[in-house]
């Protein structure tokens, strides 16, 4: 009975982490490697999202900062003493 519960827990963890129900009899090393793989994939997704938000051609964060900076710079240079 305990072995069946353990297999169900491992299968459930596999599904929650992104694996399939076929991963039931995995070793500790395989489990660690899969966790590392999922972590690396999540980091790649975060990096891609960050670069797409910051560097989005004309509407990204970088473009907004540059346009506001240019406006502020022209306002400052237009000040009369």
pLDDT in tens, the chain (81 residues): 456 566 656 665 665 555 554 555 667 888 888 889 999 999 999 998 888 888 776 777 888 888 889 999 998 988 887
CA-to-CA dists, residue 21 to 1, 9, 35, 52, 59, angstroms: 19, 11, 16, 34, 43
Specify the pTM.
0.49
- Which residue range forms the structural domain that includes residue 29? 2-76
Q: Is residue 15 part of a domain?
A: yes
pLDDT in the model for residue 31: 81
Would residue 81 count as lying in a domain?
no
Q: How many domains does the chain have?
A: 1
pLDDT at 9: 62
Structure token pair of residue 62: 């970088």
As given in the structure block, the two tokens for residue 28 are: 């500790």
42: enclosing H helix or E strand: helix 28-54
């Amino acid at each position: 009975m305990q072995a069946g519960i353990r297999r169900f827990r491992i299968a459930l963890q596999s599904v929650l982490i992104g694996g399939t129900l076929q991963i039931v009899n995995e070793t500790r090393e395989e489990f660690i490697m899969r966790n590392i793989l999922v972590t690396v994939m999540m980091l790649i997704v975060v990096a891609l999202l960050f670069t797409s938000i910051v560097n989005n051609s004309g509407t990204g964060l970088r473009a907004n900062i540059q346009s506001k900076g240019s406006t502020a710079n022209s306002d400052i240079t237009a000040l009369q003493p």
